Each structure stands twice: as C-alpha cells, then as structure tokens.
Structure 1
Amino acid sequence: MTMGVQKSDPIIIVGGGAFGLSTALHLTRSGFTNISVYEKDDHIPPRYSAANDLNKIVRAEYEDPFYTDLTIKAIAEWKTPLFAPFFHQTGFLHCVSGDASQKAIDTLARFRASAEKNAQIKPHVVPLDNVNDVRQACWQLDGPLTGWNGYLNRFDGYAHSGNALAAVYRAAQAAGVRFYLGEHGAVDEVVYVSTLQGRKSSGIRTKDGKFHPSSLVIVAAGGAVGRLVPELGKKVVAKSWSVAHVQLTDEETSALRGIPITYARDLGFLFEPDPKTNLLKICPMGGGFINTDPKTGISHAPDTLEESAFVPDHDEKQMRKLLAHTLPALANRPLVKRSLCWFADTDDSDFIIDYVPGTSDSVVVLSGDSGHGFKMFPIFGSWVSDFLEHSRQRNAQWRWKQTDPNAEKGNWGGDVSWRLGESLELKDIRPKVVSKL
C-alpha cells in the first residue's frame, strides 16, 4: 500500500477540458502546490473538449437520487462568484410530442417523478398537461407543439460551458497551476518503470519526445482517454452526438431571451440563443455515434476535428422537425457550425474516478462524463481531491469496474434509460467525399 501523494509532489493532469480544469482548481484549493496541466490544443477551451461549447444543460432530476443530490450541490456552486456569470437558470421544459415512443414517455415520467419526489426541487416543478400549458410556460414557442405534454422545472438551467472553462483556466493559472498547451502539451504516452512493488508511472512523454517526471499522472482526456489508458478496454468508449446552430439576427435573439431549455424527449432540444454570437444551439435525440477500431473493437475519437465537422442527414431532419414543432420560422434556416461532439461514455453512465489497477497508485483516470458530466463542473474536482486525500474511491459508483474484455458490445450505453436509439458507426454516416482531382 502506498503512502498516497503529498501536497508538494509534482502532479500532471492530462487534458484541459472540464474534468482536468475542475481538478486543477480544486487541488490548489486543497493545498496542492505543484500541478501542471498538459493540453494538446493551443488554447483553452480546447476544441477537442466536449465542453468547448455554447451551452450545456444543468438539470437536477436524475432517476438515481445519488446524482440528483450532487447536482443540487453543483447548482449551489454555479451561483458562486467564479461560476455565476456562466449559469442561466432559465428552467427546463421537458416534454414528449404526440408521436413519442413508449420508452420516451416512460423515461419522461421517471424524470418527473424524481423532480417531484425531491423536497428542494418540487416547488419549482410546473405540470404541462397539454399544449396550452406549454404555451403558458413559454409564449415564444409559436409552433403547433402537436401532442406536447410534460413539465417545466424552473430549478434547472444551462451553463455557457466554453466561457466557464476559460474562467476556471484563468483562476487555476492565478493559483499557480502551470499550463503546457499546443505542441508542448500534446501527450504521447504515460511512462512506466518497474519497481519492487510493481509497475509505477514516472511521468509522461509529450509528442515532441520530451519526458516530464511526476509523482502522479491524472488522465482527464475525454474521448481520447482510451489511447492513453488502454487498460480501460471497452469499459469506456468514445461516443458522439450531433450539434448544430441557427444564426439569428439581434432582434430574433432578443425575442427569445430567457426561454427555457426546450426538450422533446423524442426529438431533441434547443437553448435560448447566445446574445454574443446570436447562435441558437440545437441537438437531436438519438443513440449517438461510435468510431470502432476494427482491430481492437474499441471506439476512439477521430484524430482530427475535420472528421467530425458535419451532422448526418437523419439528425438534421430531427432538428428541423423540432424547430417545426416549436419555432417554425426557423425550421428551414441553414444549420451552421455543425459537428459531432465526442465524449467518454461508460455503459452504465457512471463516472470513473479511480487509480488504474496495476500502476501502484501512480495513475488516476477521470472519465465517463457520459454526456451528463459538465453540470458537475464546479464541484467535480472536489471529488478528485477527496479521493486523493483518502487514497481510495469511497463511492462504489465511481470505482474502476472490471468488465469482460471479450464481451461483445452492441448498442453501447443504449441500456441507459434516458437515451433513445441505436449507436451507429461513424464510417456508416460519414458524408461521401468527392475525390479531389
């Protein structure tokens, strides 16, 4: 058993996205003094991070009360001075349309029950039993809203995720965290040495060939985690969902100021437009996309951003259908800034905050945001700090879970109840490229 890491020991964090930055901030708050963050992009927010985005939903209702309680704590922290500029408590209008499948209807009912069961959230929940109720909750939705029903939760909202990352980056720098960005920050591998106790990491090697020693390596590399921590196997896969935007005028943006996140469980969701860029973000509901390596059977995020700079036709149809239901004036507008947003997905949607087995407690993996991790950004790093103080993961949900390496994995993460649809392979949905002669 190792002694654990000392406050003055050199610690390297790989990845300058949400989990890495939150960890850097909280470790400095806990008195750790020798922290370096390595990030392959040349700026933060990094373009490879799922959190490099206009907004992410911050909703408190989960089917598992463990996560509901944590989100209530996170929302309290979103209201503190560092995070408050990026949190907008617009409410979460959560419905199904008249065409919804039974799975979508049942999932909505469970979310609603979770919200109504929690004493802190219940006073903020407004039932929306029919289309008129939906219009009362948000008068700007002037589409047919055919068959829509559900609830509005005013406790929820969204965060401007890209700007929140930039603010925490500045705060961590001010607290003494060193950042290595671009070619100096691109990590090629975690380096190991053999000791009497077994294999132990001695640091990292960056793509420029340089070795950087450390006592502890914390890997928070999002969808790229599998390449640096191959021990994860199929426990974590890189997965993506489509994102696109509608470019509005100043007047259109102003008219939609303050609308709740509008989420039809069977269609997708949209946010109030960003006043700085006049972009309205929209996402379709679906099983997402994976990029499986035929040799290993493991899904990795693509190496280049260009490979993800599109959305498949089916998803575009879904997004236009959502707009036709809600804001029909926008339904035929061009969709701009289209991309697939890659994240690290676990099959049970739980995070992983634990030592990598067989590394003598010298490598920690932070992974499995599973498309719902960003709402925890203000407090995520406190769990890492707590974990290091105790030298073990006290929450069973976040421990390293052994899985059968030979198990066939079909619809990865599709058993998670709040997702609808099958996972598709990136190679099957890529736009056909015309050869450049």
Structure 2
Amino acid sequence: MGVSKSDPIIIVGGGAFGLSTALHLSQKGYTDLSVFEKDDHIPPRYSAANDLNKIVRAEYEDPFYTDLTIKAMDAWKTPLFAPHFHQTGFLHCVSGQAPEQAAETLKRFRASAERNPAIKPHVVPLEGREDIRQACWQLDGSLSGWNGYLNRFDGYAHSANALVAVYRTAQVAGVRFFLGEQGAVDEVVYVSTATGKKTAGVRTKNGRFHPSALVIVAAGAGAGRLLPELGQQVVAKSWSVAHVHLSDEETSALRGIPIVYARDLGFYFEPDPKTNLLKLCPMGGGYINTDARTGVSHAPGSLADSSFMPEHDERKVRELLAQTLPALKDRPLVKKSLCWFADTKDSDFIVDYVPQTESSIVLLSGDSGHGFKMFPIVGSWVTNLLEGPGRQQSIARWRWKGPQKSEEKADWGGAVSWRLGESKELRDILPARASKL
C-alpha cells in the first residue's frame, strides 16, 4: 500500500524543491503536510534559492531538459509565478580569450536552441561588438572578440520572492511549517519491519519526535547528512556570488538588459529595482568540502564560513565588468558568498524512493546548479512518483543510482560539458582570516 492522501507526510527542507513539493501535494488533495526547515524564516538562508535571481534558459544539449524547461516556463507565466519571472533574454557569448572548450559548448547550446521550433524564432546570432550593442546598447565596454547569440525566449526569475509566494500559498492551503529550532531535523527515525526497515518520522534537534507515514528529503546540500546511504550520489558543491550596489540612476539605465553571460568569465542580470543590487557570478568548476573519512562533500555548518568570494572569482567578475560595463569594474563587491547546492556527476536530478525503506522515504535532490528554473513544476514529479504504478520512478535517469566507486577522488561536474574547470576544496580557498575546516 502506498501513502494515502490523509496520511501524515513530512517534507524536510523549505527551499525550492521542498516548497514546490508542498504546493503540488496540497493541490493534489494531500491534507496532512508538514515542512521542516532549520532556518527561522522562508526563504531560508541555507537554500541555494535564497537569491536575487536565477537564470531560466531553455536550451540544453539534452532535449529531455529542453522540453522540461519549456514546460516549466509555461508554468512561470501562470498567476502565482508570473510576478517573479522576467523574460529579458539571454545574451550568451564567449570573449576573445575564451578557451576552445567554452567556444565549443556555446556552439552546442546555440545549435540546441536553433533545433527547437519553439525557441528558434527567438535566436539572434551575434558576431562582434556592433551586433552585441544592437542587442544590448548599454554594454559600452570593448567586447573584444566577443561572439555568440541572443535568445529572447529566455530570462530569469526572482528566486527569493518566488519562494515567499509559494510559502504563503502553501500556508493558506493548510501546510504546516516548523521553522528554526522546531524545524531543524537531526535524524530520520526508522522502525524494523519483516523485510527491513521503514521510517516512523523525524527527530528534530530539540529532541522532539514527529511521526510520519512518508518523509520527503528535499534538503539540498544537506541531504547527505540525513541520508548517509546516499554515498557519493549527491555531494554539496558551491559557486560564488557577489553584487555591486548601484545608484537609482544606474539601476534605471540598466533596466531590461538581457542576462549577460560570457561562458569563460561569468554572468550578471539586470539590477534589482528594490535593492539596486547587480548580481555577478563567475564561471568555474566550483568548490567542494570533502569529509576525509567518507569522501563525501558536505556544506559547512556555519553560514559565516561561506560569506566570501575567492580572489580568483573576483578577478573574473571584474574582468567581465571591464569588458562590458567598465564604469563598474572597480566598484566594491558586496554581499559576497558561496552558494551551496546538491550536485550529481551527470547533472541529473534524483527523484526516487530510498531503497530498503518500504517506499517510506523519498529523496528529491541533485539540482546540480540548474534546478531552480524548474521550481513551478518540481513538486509534480513527486506526485507522479507517489501516484504512479508500482511505486517506481518511471524516468530512469532520476532513479536512485546505487553504490558508487568511492575509492577514486571525484571531480564533481568535470564530465558535464557546460562547466569549465575542476572543483577545488573549500579549505584551499578560504581567506586567511577564516579558520580552516
């Protein structure tokens, strides 16, 4: 027997995957839903989606994810999500100094966009500075050697605000939220059965036990701590982010610009009109925090340990500004941090029952740095799993992967073509003022 719609269901994690799941389950008629989140507010500071904005682009080398994103973008245009979606376009280029890998990846992305009949009419080739300034006149830097394309089908979402909107909608629908000390899950509790074990609920750090018929772990970079049997299927990884604070006039002048994305340097968005912050992200292999005993990367326990941008990344975003918006290249960088997410080797998500738990635990993880664009539809994947035949994930690539070879050091994401560079250990890039982990 599967879980019934009146059974108690616990969702661990109040970020994008957890909130979307709560929303979709409530819409499907599940009546006893509780979300547990260790931060004391939504959006939670530990969530990768606690952010000004995330790219919503539809072109993937893999048509499976292109089709999925087009479906998500339709959902972004519905009343609940539309206020937070901005279809400004995606200016996707390489600079004149880009390595061959970056240039070849760009070509594959453009080919993917031009193959899809829904996207192709929105794609404009860009060859050189004059073409790029036709697409975005505000870019008054040298743009030396830049080329690529503009995809007007794409855009971005204000992620933190979207989380708040879904949180409030879920509350109205009767979903209960346990936040802070009440919501910090310390462990998943099991009971023995004739065939093994199943979950009985969760225990929070304040010692309280919360019974449940089903536990859905949507804890992002923290999933591995709650489910050690994951091994190296999912590891915590991060990329850095920083912001430039603009004047009202500068913000107004940049309103409506597309996402400016140099595959070898980094990217930025139109500035946020409420905060006047322009968000900058460098490109690179990212950072992991490997436990020497297990070989698994976990997010640091303290937010303070991630409140910086590595020097190498700062040089990249300053070079990006120098080539595109030179008036901003020497501005102070503010609100610097590492953004931790749940990564998989192939960038596929995991949406499946945890084996040997009698279908009593679901793992929803592996956003891999590209999952937020799916926020409006993520929860439907969970309802499909719960209500599908045989309590089995029908999408093979989203299944539990089984034991991994842990003897070899994993270069997480190194085999994923859209990422450049190798992962570095957090301990090797911590600023001198911080203690080593």
Identify the residue that residue 417 of structure 1 maps to in structure 2.
417
Aligned-pair CA distance for 1:434: 7.5
Identify the residue that residue 164 of structure 2 maps to in structure 1.
166
Deviation readout 1:68-107 (Å, 9 max, x if unpaired): 0010010011000000000000000000001011100010
Aligned: 1:233 with 2:228: no
Identify the residue that residue 392 of structure 1 maps to in structure 2.
392
Residues 398/245 of structure 1: CA separation in 2 closer, same or farther (3 Å cut): same
Specify the code of the residue in structure 1 equivalent to 2:137. W
Verify the 8 A CA contact 1:203 1:211 in the aligned structure 2. yes
Query: For the residues of structure 1 that align with 2:304 and 2:162, how far apart are their CA atoms?
Result: 25
Query: For the residues of structure 2 that align with 1:395 and 1:109, how far apart are their CA atoms?
Result: 28
Query: For the residues of structure 2 that align with 1:407 and 1:127, how far apart are their CA atoms?
Result: 45
Deviation readout 1:119-164 (Å, 9 max, x if unpaired): 0000000010222111100000000011000000000000000000
Query: CA-atom RMSD, angstroms?
Result: 0.9
SS at match of 1:239: strand
SS at match of 1:7: coil
Query: For the residues of structure 2 that align with 1:410 and 1:380, how far apart are their CA atoms?
Result: 27
Matches within 5 A, 1:259-408: 259-390=257-388, 391-408=391-408
Q: In the comparison of the two structures, how many residue pairs are matched?
A: 433
Aligned-pair CA distance for 1:294: 1.1
Query: For the residues of structure 2 that align with 1:386 and 1:31, how far apart are their CA atoms?
Result: 13
Query: For the residues of structure 2 that align with 1:256 and 1:94, how far apart are their CA atoms?
Result: 17
Specify the code of the residue in structure 2 equivalent to 1:404. Q
SS at match of 2:377: helix
Specify the code of the residue in structure 1 equivalent to 2:426. L
Ranges in structure 2 where 5+ consecutive residues have no aligned partner: none
Query: For the residues of structure 1 that align with 2:321 and 2:4, how far apart are their CA atoms?
Result: 53
Matches within 5 A, 1:72-83: 72-83=70-81
Verify the 8 A CA contact 1:287 1:414 in the aligned structure 2. yes
Aligned: 1:217 with 2:237: no
Query: For the residues of structure 2 that align with 1:336 and 1:17, how far apart are their CA atoms?
Result: 23
SS at match of 1:51: coil
Identify the residue that residue 134 of structure 1 maps to in structure 2.
132
Identify the residue that residue 99 of structure 1 maps to in structure 2.
97
Q: TM-score by structure 2 length? A: 0.98
Identify the residue that residue 177 of structure 1 maps to in structure 2.
175
Percent identity, aligned pairs only?
Answer: 76
SS at match of 2:231: helix
Query: For the residues of structure 1 that align with 2:360 and 2:317, how far apart are their CA atoms?
Result: 45
Aligned-pair CA distance for 1:405: 3.8
Query: For the residues of structure 2 that align with 1:129 and 1:294, how far apart are their CA atoms?
Result: 47
Q: TM-score by structure 1 length? A: 0.98
Specify the code of the residue in structure 1 equivalent to 2:55. I
Ranges in structure 1 where 5+ consecutive residues have no aligned partner: none
Structure 1 runs of 4+ off > 3 angstroms? Answer: none
Specify the code of the residue in structure 2 equivalent to 1:79. K
Identify the residue that residue 45 of structure 1 maps to in structure 2.
43
Deviation readout 1:288-347 (Å, 9 max, x if unpaired): 000001111110000010000001100000000000011000000000000000000000
Verify the 8 A CA contact 1:233 1:405 in the aligned structure 2. no
Moved more, 407-416 or 97-106: 407-416
SS at match of 1:13: strand
